[in-house]
Structure 1
Amino acid sequence: MSNKVKFALLLICTIFSVVTIIKLFNLSEDIIHYHNRFVRRFPQHVAQEIHQTDLTYNSYYFAGIGEGKIYLGNYTAPLQMTVLDSTLKEKKIYHIELKEKNLPFQAPQIRVLGDHFFVFEGIVPYIFKGNISNWKASLRINSGYHFSHLEPMDSVNMAIRYMTPKSGESLIGTLNLADTTKVSYDAKLLQKQFDGIFDTDGSLLFNKQFNRIVYVYRYRNEFIVADPILNLDYRGNTIDTISRAQVRLAQLKNNSMKTFAEPPLIVNKTTAVDGNLLYVNSLLPGLYESENIWKIASIVDVYDLTDKTYRSSFPIYHIAGKKMKGMLVSGNLLYALIGEKIVCYKLLEHLSQDRAVRDYAHSIH
C-alpha cells in the first residue's frame, strides 16, 4: 500500500471520527432538549461566592439594581430603602416620604429603575413616583383596576398583572403614568387552564436590555416573552414536563373565595432576567440527580431567550439551613437573599456570553 493511499485512508478516518463526535454531541443536546426534559447539565463551579453580608433581618426583597447599587425593600418597614454597593460593603438607609398620606396603606412595595422609584399597592390601588435624589414621591395613580404585580419598563410605562373586577382572573397589561387613559391589556397572553387565578400565577419580569416583558408561570413549565405593547414574541418551556398546573382548590365556607385544598406542586419559584438569559429557581429534581443536593441547595436553571434553549444549571447552597428566597442578576454577578444574608456570586464565563452553550462546549474541546 502506497504512502498516498495510507494518507488518504488516515484522512478519511480522521474526518469520519470528527463528524461522528460532532453528531454524538448534537444528539446528546437533542436528548437533553427534547427526549428527556428532566436531565440537567451541571458544569462545575458556575456560581462562585465572592461577597456576603449580614442584613440582620430576613424581611428584605430586591427592589432594583443599577449604577453599581443594589436596592432592597423591607416588608416590615415598607417605606425604608436600603442601598448597598456592588461589593455589599457599603450600606445606606433612606426613608421614603410620600406627599399623600391619607390612603389605606397595607403592604406597599417599591421598585427602583434608573433615577426613579415607585411605591405601589395593587389592592388599593395606588402608584407613587419619586426620584432617588431625595426619596420623595407624589401620587400618580389612585384608581382603576386592582393589580398584583408591577415592574417599571421606563420612567412612565409600567408592566402590570391586573386582576379583572368580577372574576379576579389575571391579565398582563401596561400603564402609562403620564397619561392614565393609556391603559392596555391582553387577555390572551396568560392562558387559563381552570380558574385564571391560581393556575396563571407566576413571576412578572422586565428585560431592559431586550426591552421585553417576561412572565414565568409558577405551577407549569412555561414562560412568555412579549414586547412593551403586549405583542407576543413566543411561549417558551422550562425543562420539566409539568405542562398543566397541579393545583387542587377548595371553597371557603360562607365565602365565595377559594384556597388550596392541598399544597400545590410548585415548578418555578424565584426568577431573574438579565441580557439574553433567564434564571429560574426550579423545585423539581431531574433524573440522575442526588437527593442530597436538593437538601442543601436551591437549583437554578438558565435559559437563552434568543434561541429558546436550556443552557445549564447550578446550585446556590443554603446558609444555616435556609434557602434562597430571591435573586437578582447583573452581568456576571448574581445576588441572592438567603435567610438574613445577602450573597454575591460570580458566574461562570459562558453564562454571561451572547452565545449558546453548544458553541461554548465546542470551544473548550
Structure 2
Amino acid sequence: MPTITAYFFILLFCYASVSKLLDFENFQVQIAQSPLLSAYAGYISYAVIIAELFFALLLVIPYSRLLGLYCSLAIMISFTIYIYLILNFSDFIPCSCGGILEKLGWTEHLFFNLGCILLALTSILLVEYDKMKKILHYSLNIVAISIASTSVVVYLFYSSEYTIKNENNFTRRYFPNALFEDNRVSLDHQFYYFAGNNSDSIFLGDITSPLQIKIIGSDLRKVENLKVGLDSYDYSFKRLRLTVKDNYYYFSDGSVPIIYMGRFNQSSAKTVSYRQVYFNQFIPIDSTRFVFRTISAKTKSFTLGIQKYDSREKAVMHPEIITKQADGIFDSDGNLISSRQNAYLIYTYIYRNQFILMDENLNILSTQNTIDTTSVAKIQTKTLADGRTKMNAPPFKVNKLQASVNKLLLNQSDLIGKNESEKRWKSSWAIDIYNFEKKQYIASFYIPHNKGEKLTGLLATKDRIYVLTSSELISYRYRNNLSSIINK
C-alpha cells in the first residue's frame, strides 16, 4: 500500500504542478484573489509549484519515500486547513486555483483532501511499523507536522488579511461574479449625468437641456421627463447643473454665481443664493446651507467652504482640508461627494492615492489612502504669460469616479494592480470598496464593458449599482457575497 500511495501522490503532484505551470499567469491571478493568500501571491505561486515537484521527487526515490510521505501529509493538511478557512471564515468564496480544484467544488475538494490525509497517514504508519519503530516516535512526528502545517496556514490567513486591509501594496482582491445585470435604458445622447436619487427614483441632468429632469424608476422600468422653470433668467449661464437631494432639486452655476432651489411639487425653482460665492463644485447639505469648492483668492488653490442660503454672513472657508503639493490646482483636483445615509462628505483626489472623510460641517474625520502607491501627483504644468497655469503633459490619473453607500466608498480606479489579468482589465471597470469607518480596503469587483465604452457616472444604493455610459444607463444587482458586504 505505501508504494501505491507514493505513486498516487507522484501523479497528483505532477499533474497539479504542470497544470499550474502551463497557465502560470492565470494561476498567479487566482492566488491573488484568495482571501487567505492575496498579500503573498507572488511568493506562494512559486512555492506551491516547487514544493509539489520536490515532494514528487522524494516519493520517486525509494530511500526518501518515507520523507516524501511525511511531506505529502504536511501539504495535504495545509490545503485542507486552507479550504476550511475559505469556507468558514472568508468574506467570500473565490474561484478555483488550478489543477484538480478546477474539476471539484470547494466542499468536494475538502473531502478529497481528507481522503488523501487518511491515505498518507495509513501508509506512514505501515512503513514505520515495518521498521519496528515505537508508536510514540512517529505519533509525535505526525502531531508535530499537523500543528506546524495548521499554524503556517492560520498565520498566512491573519497576516494576509491585515496586510490587504490595512497595509495594502496595490494588491486587489476581487469578488467573483459580484454582479448580475438587472436592466438598461438607452439614452439619446452622451451628455447626461447623475443628479441624485431617492428610494424609488434616479435623477439625471442634461447638459444640453439644463432645465429638464429625467426621472427614472429605480428598476429602470419607468422613465419620465420633467421640465421646470426658474424665477429669473437674467444671467449668462456657462454651466448650469442639476442636483437632487431628498424632495428638493437645485440648479447652480458657480461661475455666475447663483443657486436655485425648488420642490418636486413646484414647477419653478427660486433663487436662494446670488453673488455669495463663486464655486466649481456644489453639494447641498439641507434646505438651509451648502458646501462648495472654490479657488481661494489668497492661496490660488482649491479650497472647501460652507455657506447658508440667503445669508449676509460670509462663507466659512476651510483651507486646511485640501492640501497642496505643487500648483494647488491640478495636483489637488478631486471629486466631492456626499454619503446620504450617514451625513458624510468625501473628497477624493484624482491624481494621488488619498481621500478625505468629513462631517457635514467640514470637520475632518480622517484622511485615508487608496490601495495604489501614487502618493504624489504625477503632473507637469507650466505658467502662461497671463499668469494662468495649464498642464504640460497628459496627467497620470489614479481615481476617476466615486459613489458611496452605507459606510463604504466605491472608487473607480484607473490603474491596474499587482497580479491582475490584463485581458480582464481591458474589458472591465475596476471598482474598489473601502470601509471608511474602519479605514480598511475591503475588496474589488469588475463591471464589464464593451471595448472603447466610457464610464461617465457611478451611483450606488443598498441593492444596486448604476453605471452611466455614453449611450446607456445600466443597473446591476449585487450577488449574495457582495450584497452581504454592502449591507453588513
TM-score greater than 0.5 by the shorter chain = yes
Q: In 2, Cα distance between the equivalents of 1:332 and 1:11?
A: 48
State which structure, 1 or 2, has the greater radius of gyration over its C-alpha atoms. Answer: 2
RMSD over aligned CA atoms reads 2.6
Q: In 2, Cα distance between the equivalents of 1:181 and 1:351?
A: 46
Q: In 2, Cα distance between the equivalents of 1:355 and 1:274?
A: 7
Aligned to 1:88: 220
Structure with the largest fraction of helix: 2
Give the % identical residues: 30
Q: CA deviation at 1:55?
A: 1.1
Q: 1:151-166 counterparts in 2 under 5 A?
A: 151-165=283-297
Aligned to 2:435: 304
**Contact persistence 2:166–2:440 (CA under 8 A):** no
Q: In 1, Cα distance between the equivalents of 2:448 and 2:485?
A: 27
Distance 1:51 1:15, change over 3 A: farther
Match of 1:222 among 316, 339, 354: 354
Q: 1:122-271 counterparts in 2 under 5 A?
A: 122-165=254-297, 167-177=299-309, 179-181=311-313, 183-252=315-384, 254-271=385-402
Q: CA deviation at 1:255?
A: 2.2
Q: Where does structure 2 lack aligned partners over 5 or more consecutive residues?
A: 1-133
Q: CA deviation at 1:27?
A: 1.4
Match of 1:276 among 403, 407, 410: 407
Match of 2:244 among 79, 101, 112: 112
Distance 1:310 1:17, change over 3 A: same
Q: CA deviation at 1:355?
A: 8.3
Most deviating of 107-116 and 147-156 = 147-156
**Contact persistence 1:185–1:230 (CA under 8 A):** no
Most deviating of 310-319 and 174-183 = 174-183
Q: CA deviation at 1:212?
A: 1.2
The secondary structure found in structure 1 opposite 2:164 is helix
**Contact persistence 1:298–1:318 (CA under 8 A):** yes
**Contact persistence 2:462–2:486 (CA under 8 A):** no
Distance 1:24 1:128, change over 3 A: same
Distance 1:136 1:319, change over 3 A: farther
Structure with the largest fraction of strand: 1
Most deviating of 97-106 and 316-325 = 316-325
Matched, 1:324 2:455: yes
User: Per chain length, whose mean CA-contact separation is higher, i.e. which structure has more relative contact order (CA < 8 Å, sep 6+)?
Assistant: 1
Distance 1:343 1:240, change over 3 A: same
Q: Where does structure 1 lack aligned partners over 5 or more consecutive residues?
A: 361-365
TM-score by length of 1: 0.89
**Contact persistence 1:319–1:339 (CA under 8 A):** no
Matched, 1:77 2:209: yes
Matched, 1:61 2:178: no
Most deviating of 263-272 and 134-143 = 134-143
Q: In 2, Cα distance between the equivalents of 1:232 and 1:349?
A: 34
Distance 1:355 1:118, change over 3 A: closer
TM-score by length of 2: 0.68
**How many correspondences in the alignment?**
354
